[in-house]
Chains A and B, each alone.
Chain A
Amino acid sequence: MIRSNYILKLLEKDERLDGRKLDEYRPIVVEKKIIGKAEGSARVKLGKTDVIVGIKTEIETPFPDTPNEGVLKTNAEFAPIAHEEFLPGPPGEDATELARVVDRGIRESKCIELEKLCITEGEKVWGIYVDIHVINHDGNLIDASALGAMAALLNTKIPKYEDNKIIRNEFQMDLPVVHKPVTVTVGKVIDKFLLDADQEEEQVLDAWLSIATREDGVVCAMQKGGKSGLKQKDVDDMIVLAMKKSKELRKKL
């Protein structure tokens, strides 16, 4: 409680505990292809927030409406190691929401050419499993996970598929990725906008808006969070800020 008040006092003066500017991200580290067994992988660190995203490719039956398209499935685990409040067990509402928000950012941007992942129309397609594993939670899990997912997808290779068997260490092609959507979560507190809130800062945010944008400036997904409302002007300003910032993040991919 005392720390929250101190954080708010600093914010009133446009200051943050770690000295960052309000629109500044913590040091971003993106490591690619770190998990040998995964068909694609990346690890993203935003300050102390640490997320590993692994991509597995499996044979799946396509959705009935899209018989010649691969399927994309995203899951997130808030591993108990990551935070004292994460409990073992199936994903809770926050992990579920995060997975779905990251998924929409990827899916709606049409960045994966799913039609190129068809093996036998109506029967067999490639399933791209995006698994987000939170290693340490110090805030802004959405941006870290979305960036990690994109980085992982960009180094994903599709294995060879012969005689109804996946040959895991031989590859036929790169995953066809044609866009680079990036998610920026803009927080609102008092009357200020805050980017890349760490865990303590997240506690004082009134509300936030996660915005996924493509490199051509199109918005693909948005998700509002937090217990307070936003005005229309807030939303406008947040979209502008997110678009601007996403260019910086995209460079890390």
Chain B
Amino acid sequence: MAIIKGIELIKNGKRLDGRKPMELREMEMKVGVVPNANGSAMVRFGKTTAIAAVYGPRLALPKHLQSANKAIVQCRYNMAPFSVDERVRPGSSRREVEISKVVRLALEPVLFLENYPKTTIDIYIEIIEADGSTRVTSINAASLALADAGVPMKDLVVAVSGGKINGKLIIDLNGIEDNNSEADIPMAFIPGKKEITLLQMDGELKHEEIKEIMNNIFKAGEEIYKMQVKVLKDKYRVIV
């Protein structure tokens, strides 16, 4: 997506897509979307759509990957070639490799890995459409997929991005905001304990601004968490 010099991303308190600074995009969440997987989920924020599937715990092979006393977690974040403006070549780019790593680290802290020695919990994420904040959308989806798979978890994981455009602090950056922002902070946290499991930042921010953005993220996360809980419980609600 283009970097447009001097673009006005926010005017009179309204962003290009009409949102207020602290407003999340329209969210949609579903679980069980990949029947073959042990667990799966789709999460959409505006146009950004991620499908996560969990396979496992299953035996970790080749054998040298196994850990004798706990499960390992393997994660692959991948963008479908058609998900962006300019086609993404199939295969793992360096960006995808890094995102796979940080997404894995965002989810591992809530998993009871000691329960499954010698196994692997494989998390696969496909970005079907990318319009900013794909890694946090992936984390929200993967968190649901893990719960759907019946993997024991200490808590769910919630993620959203915060940032600064034209001097104003905002929540949930879409594609054009992501590319033209003064700063961008994707963050994931464990809702119960407010423990941060993913934190990245790029741009130019004063310490005070970082603090404020993080507070905004914790707050927006509450809304996301509510929807995650609802979609999980709804799977088992009987329609009377």
Contact = CB atoms under 8 A, between A and B. Distances in A.
Interface of A: 64-66, 91, 93-94, 96-97, 99-100, 104, 107-110, 209, 214, 217-232, 235-236, 239-240, 243
**Most A CB within 10 A of own CB, among B3, B204, B211:** B204
Interface in B170-218: 185, 189-190, 193-207, 210-211, 214-215, 218
B230 interface: no
A145 B215 CA distance: 32
Nearest to A74: B94
Nearest to A213: B207
B214 A235 contact: yes
Q: Taking chain A's interface residues, is the majority helix, strand, or loop, or is none over half, making it mixed?
A: mixed
B98 A97 contact: yes
A104 B202 contact: yes
B206 A219 contact: yes
Interface of B: 2-4, 94-95, 97-98, 100-102, 105, 108-109, 185, 189-190, 193-207, 210-211, 214-215, 218
B105 A223 contact: no
A96 B201 contact: no
Q: Taking chain B's interface residues, is the majority helix, strand, or loop, or is none over half, making it mixed?
A: mixed
A108 B199 contact: no
A99 B196 contact: no
B207 A240 contact: yes
A92 to B, nearest CB: 8
**Most B CB within 10 A of own CB, among A93, A97, A243:** A93
A219 B205 contact: yes
B193 A239 contact: no
B194 A227 contact: no
Contacts of B109: 227-229
B194 A218 contact: no
B197 A97 contact: no
